[in-house]
C-alpha cells in the first residue's frame, strides 16, 4: 500500500497523546506522484461530475498532485475547453484560487470513441501538455464511459500507441470502472478486449469499497493485532453475516438498474471484496500480490451454488411502496425508467459456504438491498455459545453469544459484544458492547474512496484494485444465481420500502436457528 511505514517518532507522538487525532497524517505523508496527464473518457458524464472531479479537487487541496499535472476530458458531448472547466469548477463545489488555477488548465476533446480522429486530437493535446505542463509522457486513462465502450476506447488508445509506456520509463495506465461485464462470459470478453490493448499490470479495476478506510481497517484489525486471529476460524466462529443496506432507492438510474439488479450491482463486486478480506488467510505482505493472491484463493474456496439448489440458499426481493424516514416513497415498479412489470431484484440474501480448513461448516450469510430501513454496511462474526451455562437459563435470557461487529458505514467502528452481570442481587446477565468509534479516535476528514484510489493509480500501487482472476471468480459464484433467476417461474419476494427486506430472508436464517443482526 502507499506511503512509507510510520516512523518511531510518529508512533511515539501517538503514544504520548493517546486518542489525539492526527487525521492529516495519512494525507500529509502521501508521496507525490510523478508528473502525468489524467485523461477522463466520459468527461461530461455523471460519474465524472459526482466522483472524479471532486476527488481531483480533494487531491489538489491535500497537496497530493504532482507539479506537472494536467487533466484532459474526452466525450461525445460537443463541449469546448471552457465548458469542461466550468463543469469542473461546479462539480468540486470549491472555488479556492489554487483549484481555479488548476481548472483553468483543463483541456477537452470532443469526439466519437470509435473514430481515429478523436485519438489523434488527444495525442496532439497530450504532446502539447508534455511540452508546456511537465506531464513527462506519463498517462492515466480513466474509463468513465458506459461499459459497452470500454473495449472500444482501449482499442482506440492502442491503435495510437497510447498503451505503450514511453521512452525513459514513462507509464501508461488504464482505470476501468464497474460494471465489469454482466456475467462471466461478458467479463471474459471485456478482459480479452482490454488485454488485446493493455497488459494486466497496466489495468486498474475500481471497486470503490476497497478505497473505504473502514474496509481497509478489516486488514488492520485482523493482521495488526494478536488477539483476533486465533479465534478467527470455525472453532470459535459460529457464522458470519455481511450486510450492505441502503435506504436510497434507484434514484435516477432506473434504466441502468433494470439490467443490473442487486446481485450484479452490489454482490458480485462490493460484497465479494468485503467477504474475501474478512475471510482470507493472512498474506505474507500487505501489497498488491499478497492481498490479491489471498483474496482470490478465498473466493475460489467459496462453494459455487448449484442452479437447482438456488431456491434453498438464496432469496431475491423487490421493494413496494413504503415509508422511509417518515416520508412515503414509491415502489420499484413505479420508479422512473423502470418497467411496471419488472422482475429485477432490489434485494438479495444468500447463504454461502467456504470450503476450506478454516471455515468448513461456518455459514456466511449475505444480504443487500435498496430502500431498506436504514443505510448500514457491516460485517459480523458471531461466535459459538459457551459450552456450558453455569447460570440459570432464566437469568441468561438476555444474553446473546459473543460477536464482533465491524461497522463499515455509517457510524464507522468496531464493537465486541459480550455478556456482563446486571447490577443487583440476582446474577442476571445481559449482552453489552465494547465500542470503538472511528470518528472519535480519528476526528476530522478521512479521504474519500475515490480520492484514495485515484492517488493509488497515480503512484502505481494496484493493491486495492481488483485483478482479473478475482473478477472472474466472483462472476462464477453469482452466475448460477443469475441462471436460476432467469427462469420464468423463479420466485421473487416483495418487501415494503423502509423494512428490513422480505420475510423469506428471515426464514433463510430461521431454518438454521439463527437470525439477522439488527443494524
Contact call for residue 246 and ligand BG6 (CB under 6 A): yes
* Residue (121 or 247) nearer to ligand BG6, CB: 247
CA 360 to chain centre: 26
In 3-state terms, what secondary structure has residue 407?
A: strand
* Residue (245 or 381) nearer to ligand BG6, CB: 245
Catalytic residue among 270, 388, 455, 503: 270
Pair type for strands 203-205 and 363-369: unpaired
Find all residues with CB under 8 Å of 234, minimum gap 6, and list them: 358, 359, 360, 361, 362
Binding letters toward ligand BG6, positions 361-380, x by CB under 6 A: ----------------x---
d(Cα 92, Cα 76) in Å, to the nearest integer? 22
Q: How far is the CB of 297 from ligand BG6 (least distance, A)?
A: 25
* Residue (274 or 354) nearer to ligand BG6, CB: 274
Instruction: Mark out the alpha helices in 8-141 (DSSP H runs).
Output: 8-16, 25-29, 46-47, 53-61, 81-92, 97-103, 116-132
Q: How far is the CB of 449 from ligand BG6 (least distance, A)?
A: 7
Q: How far is the CB of 506 from ligand BG6 (least distance, A)?
A: 23
* Residue (246 or 378) nearer to ligand BG6, CB: 246
* CB of 187 closer than 8 Å to CB of 472: yes
Q: Which candidate, 518, 519, 515, places its Cα nearest to that of 239?
A: 515
Q: How far is the CB of 213 from ligand BG6 (least distance, A)?
A: 12
Binding letters toward ligand BG6, positions 324-363, x by CB under 6 A: ----------------------------------------
> ∠ at Cα 370 (369, 375), nearest 5°?
90
Q: Among residue numbers 376 through 435, which ones bind ligand BG6 (CB under 6 A)?
A: 377
* Residue (377 or 402) nearer to ligand BG6, CB: 377
Query: Binding ligand BG6 by CB under 6 A: which of 60, 265, 448, 504?
Result: 265
Q: How far is the CB of 64 from ligand BG6 (least distance, A)?
A: 21
Q: How far is the CB of 265 from ligand BG6 (least distance, A)?
A: 5
C-alpha grid cell, residue 235: 472453532
* CB of 168 closer than 8 Å to CB of 137: yes
C-alpha grid cell, residue 279: 475471510
State which residue has the least CB distance to ligand BG6. 265
Q: Among residue numbers 32 through 51, which ones bind ligand BG6 (CB under 6 A)?
A: none
* Residue (228 or 256) nearer to ligand BG6, CB: 256
Burial class (CB in 10 A: 0-12, 13-18, 19+), 124: exposed
Q: How far is the CB of 273 from ligand BG6 (least distance, A)?
A: 11
Residue given cell 431498506 in the structure block = 372
Number of residues that bind ligand BG6 (CB under 6 A): 3
Q: Among residue numbers 212 through 231, which ones bind ligand BG6 (CB under 6 A)?
A: none
Phi, psi values for residue 239, rounded to 5°: -165, 165
What is each CA distance from 454 to 175, 177, 185, 457, 488, in whole angstroms? 9, 12, 28, 5, 42
Told to judge if 270 belongs to the known catalytic residues of this protein, a careful annotator would answer yes
* Residue (65 or 210) nearer to ligand BG6, CB: 210
Give the footprint of ligand BG6 on this chain (CB under 6 A): 246, 265, 377
Q: Which residues are catalytic?
A: 270
Amino acid at each position: 500500500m502507499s506511503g512509507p511505514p510510520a516512523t518511531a517518532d510518529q508512533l511515539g507522538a501517538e503514544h504520548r497523546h493517546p486518542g489525539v487525532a492526527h487525521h492529516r497524517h495519512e494525507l500529509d505523508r502521501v508521496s507525490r506522484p510523478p508528473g502525468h496527464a489524467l485523461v477522463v473518457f466520459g468527461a461530461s458524464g455523471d460519474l465524472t461530475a459526482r466522483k472524479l472531479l471532486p476527488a481531483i479537487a480533494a487531491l489538489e487541496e491535500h497537496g497530493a498532485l504532482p507539479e506537472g499535472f494536467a487533466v484532459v476530458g474526452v466525450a461525445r458531448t460537443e463541449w469546448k475547453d471552457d465548458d469542461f472547466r466550468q463543469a469542473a469548477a461546479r462539480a468540486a463545489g470549491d472555488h479556492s484560487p489554487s483549484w481555479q488555477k488548476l481548472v483553468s488548465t483543463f483541456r477537452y476533446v470532443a469526439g466519437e470513441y470509435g473514430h481515429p480522429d478523436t485519438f489523434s486530437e488527444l495525442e496532439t493535446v497530450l504532446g502539447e501538455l508534455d511540452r508546456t505542463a511537465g506531464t513527462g509522457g506519463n498517462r492515466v486513462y480513466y474509463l468513465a464511459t458506459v461499459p459497452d465502450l470500454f473495449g472500444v476506447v482501449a482499442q482506440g488508445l492502442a491503435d495510437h500507441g497510447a498503451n505503450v509506456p514511453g521512452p525513459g520509463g514513462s507509464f501508461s495506465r488504464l482505470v476501468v470502472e464497474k460494471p465489469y461485464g454482466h456475467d462471466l462470459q461478458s467479463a471474459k470478453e471485456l478482459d480479452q478486449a482490454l488485454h488485446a490493448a493493455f497488459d494486466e499490470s497496466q489495468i486498474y479495476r475500481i471497486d470503490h469499497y476497497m478505497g473505504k478506510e473502514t474496509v481497509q481497517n478489516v486488514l488492520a484489525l485482523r493482521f495488526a493485532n494478536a488477539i483476533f486471529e486465533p479465534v478467527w476460524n470455525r472453532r470459535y466462529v459460529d457464522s458470519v453475516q455481511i450486510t450492505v443496506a441502503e435506504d436510497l432507492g434507484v434514484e435516477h438510474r432506473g434504466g441502468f438498474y433494470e439490467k443490473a439488479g442487486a446481485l450484479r450491482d452490489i454482490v458480485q463486486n462490493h460484497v465479494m471484496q468485503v467477504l474475501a478480506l474478512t475471510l482470507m488467510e493472512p498474506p505474507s505482505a500487505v501489497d498488491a500480490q499478497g492481498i490479491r493472491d489471498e483474496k482470490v484463493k478465498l473466493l475460489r474456496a467459496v462453494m459455487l451454488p448449484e442452479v437447482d439448489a438456488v431456491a434453498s440458499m438464496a432469496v431475491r426481493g423487490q421493494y413496494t411502496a413504503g415509508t422511509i424516514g417518515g416520508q412515503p416513497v414509491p415502489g420499484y415498479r413505479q420508479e422512473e425508467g423502470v418497467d411496471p412489470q419488472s422482475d429485477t431484484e432490489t434485494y438479495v440474501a444468500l447463504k454461502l459456504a467456504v470450503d476450506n480448513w478454516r471455515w468448513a461448516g461456518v455459514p456466511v450469510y449475505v444480504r443487500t438491498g435498496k430502500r431498506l430501513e436504514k443505510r448500514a454496511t457491516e460485517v459480523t462474526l458471531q461466535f459459538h455459545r459457551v459450552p456450558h451455562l453455569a447460570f440459570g437459563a432464566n437469568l441468561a435470557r438476555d444474553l446473546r453469544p459473543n460477536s464482533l461487529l465491524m461497522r463499515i458505514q455509517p457510524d464507522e467502528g468496531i464493537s465486541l459484544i459480550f455478556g456482563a452481570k446486571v447490577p443487583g442481587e440476582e446474577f442476571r446477565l445481559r449482552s453489552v458492547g465494547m465500542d470503538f468509534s472511528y470518528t472519535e479516535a480519528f476526528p476530522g476528514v478521512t479521504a474519500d474512496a475515490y480520492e484514495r484510489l485515484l492517488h493509488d493509480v497515480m503512484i502505481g500501487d494496484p493493491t486495492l484494485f481488483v485483478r482479473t482472476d478475482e473478477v472472474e471468480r466472483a462472476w462464477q459464484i453469482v452466475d448460477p444465481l443469475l441462471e436460476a433467476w432467469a427462469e420464468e417461474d423463479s420466485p421473487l419476494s416483495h418487501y415494503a420500502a423502509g423494512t428490513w427486506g422480505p420475510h423469506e430472508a428471515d426464514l433463510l436464517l430461521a431454518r438454521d436457528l439463527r437470525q439477522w443482526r439488527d443494524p
